[in-house]
């Protein structure tokens, strides 16, 4: 087998046994990047070949650090990796070199990962379509005229192309789930608080975004998640996460899986999205699980209002200073300006009301899991769209009233910090991939990964349908 088509855990085992050297793996990785990255533009700020080979030779001559020892990885360009630029896709920060690793990056390096560069992301991670004025657009490897999704689009495309075996992503509004679905790989938004954020700025109010793992198999997801998680005493809302890899092959039986469909008509779907989702669910039912449709359990308009207010509130906290500076304001994309201006204009009572709605939805969702083990929605409401679009303006003749309304399907889980695993769902007649969100109650990360593993062993979509470049 091509070593770049091996899962990360298989690469790790070969490295540990001496059947594979870090230098050989690095050389193959860089050769693959040379061949395909110019087509998809997934990896950016790549270290020189000499630098990366030096990292690999040093790993070969050093004691084994952990399961990632000698495995190349690229970090999403929203996080800091020491010695590499953190542009966040913005001209304001292009060329800004990180002096230290972010917490989860340091954990990956402590386990032996070799950081070779960064993966592309939209400007400040805003929008589920990876393009920015610094590095350009990331293209979908299954159709180079289409979007790879976002904001972890670079990571997902790199995985699909075999340039990486595992990758980090982050997810506020589907940024792990949508690109994983559109690139026929796995992505996990873990229970909020299990992967620590940076102990900087406000650490209480903005419970929306989280980092998480991406991979071509659920076992690799679990291994990377176990490395990224762990309580950080510097953070007040960080939570403990039990290991997930050890029980990954325990077969789940007779799960009650609720299909949320289009949320009672609230979510517009492009033709074929519901069909590929239902076909995947029918196959999942064949594994011995009970699949049943579930009526919309909460008012979608209230949820959307809560989400958009809390999101703008959070974005304004992060980017407000840039908007207030006339010299830098004009260099921000319209979506960033819109979010910040909404957030800055918001009253404390508006924020309180948004949080109250979120609390209502959390209570309702908690009661749903008394009857259901897993809830399911598509990972995106449409197929990968034209890479030259800013965002889709309509779905199934329904107008989208904001740059992110087309991703409304991801907010039921994201708003209340539930764990979600995207699993590949198959392909449409157009040859494009789709994904399913497997949603569980807080703390059910290991259970979701076991279901994803069962699905993977049955379908093997990442191996069955690789992109041809």
Residue 324, domain member (yes or no): no
Total structural domains within the chain? 1
User: Has residue 395 been placed in a domain?
Assistant: no
Query: Is 151 one of the annotated active-site residues of the chain?
Result: yes
Q: What angle do CA 212, 13, 231 make, to 5 degrees?
A: 30
CA–CA distance, 193 with 241 (Å, rounded to integer): 9
Residue among 12, 45, 147, 151 flagged as catalytic: 151
Residues of the chain with confidence (pLDDT) below 70: none
In a domain, 377, yes or no: no
Predicted pLDDT of residue 241? 85
Is residue 347 exposed (0-12), middle (13-18) or buried (19+ Cβ within 10 Å)?
A: exposed
Told to judge if 165 belongs to the known catalytic residues of this protein, a careful annotator would answer no
Instruction: State yes or no: is 347 an active-site residue.
Output: no
Boundaries of domain holding 107: 3-256+420-464
Identified catalytic residue from 87, 128, 152, 175: 175
pLDDT at 126: 97
Is residue 299 domain-resident?
Answer: no
CATH number assigned to the domain comprising residue 231: 3.90.1300.10
Residue from 76, 118, 333, 441 carrying the catalytic annotation:
76
pLDDT at residue 1 in the model = 74
- Would 125 be classed as within a structural domain? yes
């Amino acid at each position: 087998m091509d070593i770049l088509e091996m899962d990360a855990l298989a690469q790790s085992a070969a490295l540990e046994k001496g059947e594979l050297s870090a230098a050989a793996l690095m050389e193959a990785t860089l050769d693959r990047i040379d061949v395909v990255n110019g087509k998809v533009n997934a990896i950016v700020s790549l270290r020189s070949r000499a630098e990366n080979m030096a990292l690999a030779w040093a790993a070969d001559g050093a004691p084994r650090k952990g399961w990632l020892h000698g495995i190349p990885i690229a970090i999403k360009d929203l996080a800091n990796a020491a010695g590499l630029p953190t542009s966040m896709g913005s001209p304001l920060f292009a060329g800004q070199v990180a002096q230290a690793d972010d917490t989860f990056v340091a954990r990956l390096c402590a386990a032996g990962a070799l950081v070779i560069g960064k993966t592309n992301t939209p400007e400040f991670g805003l929008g589920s379509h990876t393009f920015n004025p610094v590095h350009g657009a990331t293209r979908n490897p299954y159709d180079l005229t289409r979007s790879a999704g976002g904001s972890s689009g670079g990571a997902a495309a790199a995985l699909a192309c075999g340039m990486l075996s595992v990758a980090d992503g982050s997810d506020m509004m589907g940024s792990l789930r949508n690109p994983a679905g559109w690139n026929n790989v796995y992505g996990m938004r873990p229970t909020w608080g299990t992967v620590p954020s940076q102990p900087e700025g406000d650490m209480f109010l903005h419970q929306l975004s989280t980092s998480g793992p991406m991979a071509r198999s659920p076992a690799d997801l679990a291994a990377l998640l176990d490395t990224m998680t762990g309580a950080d005493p510097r953070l007040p809302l960080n939570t403990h996460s039990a290991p997930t890899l050890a029980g990954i092959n325990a077969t789940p039986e007779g799960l009650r899986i609720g299909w949320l469909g289009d949320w009672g008509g609230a979510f517009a779907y492009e033709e074929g999205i519901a069909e590929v989702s239902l076909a995947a669910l029918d196959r999942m039912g064949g594994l011995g699980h009970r699949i049943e449709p579930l009526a919309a359990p909460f008012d979608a308009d209230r949820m959307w209002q809560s989400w958009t207010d809390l999101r703008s509130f959070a974005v304004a906290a992060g980017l407000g200073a840039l908007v207030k500076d006339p010299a830098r304001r004009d260099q921000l994309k319209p979506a960033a300006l819109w979010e910040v201006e909404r957030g800055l204009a918001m009253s404390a009572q508006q924020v309180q009301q948004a949080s109250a709605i979120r609390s209502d939805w959390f209570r309702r969702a908690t009661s749903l899991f008394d009857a259901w083990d897993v809830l399911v929605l598509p990972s995106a409401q449409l197929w990968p769209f034209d890479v030259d679009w800013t965002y889709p303006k309509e779905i199934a003749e329904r107008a989208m009233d904001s740059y992110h309304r087309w991703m409304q399907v991801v907010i039921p889980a994201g708003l209340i910090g539930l764990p979600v695993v995207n699993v590949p769902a198959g392909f449409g007649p157009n040859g494009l991939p789709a994904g399913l969100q497997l949603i569980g109650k807080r703390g059910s990360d290991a259970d979701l990964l076991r279901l994803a593993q069962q699905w993977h062993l049955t379908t093997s979509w990442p191996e069955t349908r690789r992109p041809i470049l």
